[in-house]
Amino acid sequence: MAAAFLTHLSQGRVEVRSAGSAPADTVNPAAVAAMAEVGIDLFARTPKILTVEAVQASDVVITMGCGDTCPVFPGKTYLDWKLDDPAGQGVEAVRPIRDEIERRVRVLLAGLQPR
């Protein structure tokens, strides 16, 4: 959801990579439904594994509880967003998580410096 909001709200000004340390086989259907409610289509998205190369190529790395499994490199900005896990939850429970992610993405975008 965070990557989708960042892509959508930045209107292509930010290159976004999305990956997880232990990704599921498919995107959570409740997250797909919750994002569809705000006009963002996640239907064709597939979870990807986090790679060292992806972190090395990034300026800002946002984690959501991956702890020691996430590679850390000097000079990168790391943010760990503590959020409820939407896994196994229905759309009613995912909506407030979605809304909090959107709020954080908007704050992040407001603070990014253009290159």
Give domain status of residue 25, yes or no.
yes
Q: pLDDT tens digit string along 36-65?
A: 999 999 988 888 988 889 889 999 999 887
Domain membership flag for residue 23: yes
* DSSP per residue, 25-84: SS--HHHHHHHHHTT---TT----B--HHHHHT-SEEEESS-GGGS---TT-EEEE----
Number of domains in the chain: 1
pLDDT: is 66 or 16 the higher one?
16
Has residue 103 got a pLDDT over 90?
A: yes
User: For 56, phi and psi rounded to 5 degrees?
Assistant: -60, -35
For 95-107, what is the mean pLDDT? 97
pTM: 0.88
- For residue 20, give the DSSP letter: B
Which residues span the domain enclosing 34?
Answer: 2-104
Q: What is d(CA 70, CA 66) in angstroms, rounded to the nearest whole number? A: 6
Q: What is the pLDDT of residue 47?
A: 83
**Residue 68 reports pLDDT greater than 90:** no
